[in-house]
Structure 1
Amino acid sequence: MQTLTADAFVRRDRPPPLGADEIHLCSMEFAPGTMPRAVADAARATLDRLLRDYAGTDRTLEIARGAHGKPYAPADTGLDFNLSHAGHHVLLAFARGQELGVDLERDERRLSLLEIARRFFAADEADALERLPAHARLPCFLQLWTRKEAVLKALGQGLNFGLDRLAFAVGADGEVGALQRIADEAGPVAQWRLCPLQPAPGLVGALAWRGAARSLQSFTLAA
């Protein structure tokens, strides 16, 4: 799937109603230097408001967490959501009857990319990273990391599942391609959908779900 960039996000005060075959992806950008706690509090307030809107209620929906920390709303089990934040940016994803995961990372220098890849990624992915010129390693690493995280969050497993238990194709140019394999309990590779994201300069992200293709609607909300 083609990378979803900043120009695909439509500015709205509130998203429209969520269709049964849709996924809504909402981006929020806070002023640089905003304290992490302030970002987290504002993101939670927006999540509460959107859950009320989508559920059609004035009552705040309780948010609980699954065995591996994935949030859900017990009062409306047909409404699925996930969120991620990086610095002063936040992404929130919503769907009906479809577990999904989203991950967002900042494009920052990381000194031990190969060490991390050797420890946590599949061996062929780490090999592909090592063959790249130094300047191409960070973009490739972040593409791999965010895709893997999004899949594991959609599974409700998080890092406990193991980043090495799914692997993506990596081209000679460092571009990450399709999901090539995944552990049997996560379902067939062909069932997985991945959407790479670049909601703002300096950010890399991914949205993942296992199921039929859906219409993806993307919005920028006021922070």
Structure 2
Amino acid sequence: MHWQAADPHRPPVSLHGPLLHLWWWAPERQPALSSRRARIDALLRRTLAAYVGLPPEALRFGREAKGRPYLLHDGAPDFNLTDTDGGTLVAVCRGARVGVDIERTRRAVSARPLARRWFAPEEAAALDALDDAAARAAFLRLWTAKEASCKATGTGIYGWLAHWRFDPDSHAPRLLSAPTDAGVADEWSYLRLSPPGGAHTVALAARGTLPVATGFVATPE
């Protein structure tokens, strides 16, 4: 994906039709606030304000039963945020309900034990057959796809990861089976991407068809 620099106060917002905008916030572009909660709130407000035509401080948010946030404004797009060391990604979507998750590609994880604990038995067995480096890479691909799916449905991850079963050999997420409440696997769309710098892997998930994605590197004034 090509990432273009843009000011989130003036994004190329379409008033009609589907859109999927991905906003990458590098650490040096983020507000310097004392707490993660305050930083995330400021990022969301700066990213989303132009989509509803209001100043950031005027945005109103609601929360679903499991805590997934949404905008309390008519015609507001869906959104989802993922945050880790080295950057934050905000997905803004009209036309689908989206989930997004990010991990550092060099993150040290105990891939096989974690897979046996949290993943479907078939996925854990596939990781057991790989060498250490391949198992770690496959684990991160599976984890991001599963968490993005859970964030799209709004369930949270606990108790749900094993119910989302993916092909461990596929670089792009390929869903094999989903929880009963999430419908059938063929109803889901996924996107695998890497933000600028190549140090992270990201999975996007949506029930239905994902609009064509456009990537922006946030350069606020």
TM range (shorter): 0.7 to 0.9
Answering whether residue 156 of structure 2 is matched by residue 162 of structure 1, we say no
- C-alpha deviations, 1:44-71, integer Å up to 9, x for none? 3232123221011236212222111211
Aligned to 2:193, which of 197, 203, 213? Answer: 197
Conserved in 2, the CA contact under 8 Å of 1:36 and 1:87? no
TM-score by length of 2: 0.86
Q: Is the alpha carbon distance of 1:81 and 1:65 closer, same or farther for their aligned partners in structure 2, counting shifts above 3 Å?
A: same
Match of 1:62 in 2: 60
Aligned to 2:216, which of 216, 219, 222? Answer: 219
Conserved in 1, the CA contact under 8 Å of 2:193 and 2:202? yes
Structure 1, gaps ≥5 residues long:
none
- C-alpha deviations, 1:136-187, integer Å up to 9, x for none? 111111100001100110001111351000111122xx74651111122101
Conserved in 2, the CA contact under 8 Å of 1:39 and 1:88? no
- 2: CA distance between counterparts of 1:12 and 1:72? 23
Aligned to 1:12, which of 6, 17, 21? Answer: 6
Q: Secondary structure at the match of 2:174?
A: strand
Q: How many residues align?
A: 214
Give, as a single letter, the amino acid of the residue that structure 2 aligns with 1:190. Answer: D
Structure 2, gaps ≥5 residues long:
none
Shift in Å at residue 204 of structure 1?
Answer: 1.4
Shift in Å at residue 202 of structure 1?
Answer: 2.0
Q: Is the alpha carbon distance of 1:148 and 1:115 closer, same or farther for their aligned partners in structure 2, counting shifts above 3 Å?
A: same
Shift in Å at residue 36 of structure 1?
Answer: 8.6
Q: Is the alpha carbon distance of 1:181 and 1:37 closer, same or farther for their aligned partners in structure 2, counting shifts above 3 Å?
A: farther
- 2: CA distance between counterparts of 1:131 and 1:176? 20
Conserved in 1, the CA contact under 8 Å of 2:21 and 2:213? yes
TM-score by length of 1: 0.86
* Identity in percent: 33
